[in-house]
Amino acid sequence: MASSTTAAGRHFCFLLALLLLSAAAHGQLSQTFYAASCPTLDQIVRDEVSRALFRDPPPLGGRRMGASILRLFFHDCFVQGCDASVLLDVDVTKGILLSEKDAGPNANSLRGFEVVDAIKSQVEAACPGVVSCSDILALATREAVVALNGTPWPLLLGRRDSRTANQSQANSDLPSPGSNLDTLIAAFARKGFTATELVALSGAHTVGLAHCVNVDQSQMQRCRVPTADGLMAALDDQTPERFDNAYYDKLGKRGLLRSDRVLTSRPDLDAQVRSYSASEAAFFADFARAMKKMSEVGVLTGANGEVRANCRRIN
């Protein structure tokens, strides 16, 4: 009994230490972090994201890139936190022997790296050595959602970039498009998210395309969108270029991926899906709250990280 009490005490102290570290990190973040040191940052991000999204003709065109940036951010934050580790290339001279880009869920799948590079180049010209790649990715993600008619969310800035990458964690922690509901809930819970936040964040699938290898067999007829990567399918075939609540419409029958369809398999979550289908405002409010929370997962601040000069390699 005594040893059990001692173990419980150690566990409590460990959790308390994590909470204090998290609070300390967030205490160094601010929505106005770059107001003095890089006042043109927001405009630079907005202009570059706009170029990336609207330079190509429909169908989808560059708007697919908006969904890709959002997915890139998610895949970064789910591995080591929002630290730009997903942007790192293999670089033996810097000790990066394995890249997260080459992990199973990411290889030949993640896009948007060149958009981050373009923003970083402009930012370095205006404010050299000031803005982290992790903040650039966070800002670009919000701007992409807003540009596609979605909702903004409060964004704290001041992140630092990781000096490491973690391919094994990318392989183990990123949920699969074929995941069942229990697997999805467990994966999100490990990052601090509830099942209801999982449903809200899944609304990101209201834009973008999926490789046909990941499509639920019942929806294979939707694999008709020609791309440079071959035929793909729109995750939301009603309004694929617009960030809205159409994804939730008849999700149990029309969800493109298994991980979409299973969200309706539990009564309380099915009710949440139906509420989002009926009210875009309800979806936007919950999505914004969940994205703010996502953007603060595992952030590095101060001497815990660095401001990379090149987003693809550590300094």
223-273 confidence digits (pLDDT tens): 988 888 788 999 998 998 899 999 999 999 999 999 999 999 999 999 999
User: Which pair of tokens denotes residue 309?
Assistant: 């000069």
Question: Is 79 assigned a ligand-binding role in the annotation?
Answer: yes
Whether the pLDDT of residue 1 is over 90: the answer is no
Question: Is 275 assigned a ligand-binding role in the annotation?
Answer: no
Interatomic CA distance for residues 165 and 9, integer angstroms: 33
Higher-confidence residue: 63 or 255?
Answer: 255
Residue-averaged pLDDT of the chain: 90
Q: What is the pLDDT of residue 58?
A: 60
CATH for 31-304, options being 3.40.190.10, 3.60.110.10, 1.10.520.10, 3.40.710.10: 1.10.520.10
| Count of CB atoms situated within 10 Å of the CB of 38 | 18
Contact 292, 154 (CB under 8 A): yes
Residue 11's pLDDT band (cuts 50, 70, 90): very low
pLDDT digits over 203-223, tens only?
A: 999 999 999 999 988 999 999
Identity of the highest mean pLDDT range in 10-24, 238-252, 267-281: 267-281
pTM of the model: 0.90
Residues identified as active-site:
75
Average pLDDT over residues 116-142: 98
pLDDT digits over 192-202, tens only?
A: 999 999 999 99
Question: Is 296 assigned a ligand-binding role in the annotation?
Answer: no
DSSP state of 216: -
Q: State the residue for tokens 């990101």.
A: 204
Q: Are β-strands 209-211 and 225-227 bridged in parallel, bridged antiparallel, or unpaired?
A: unpaired
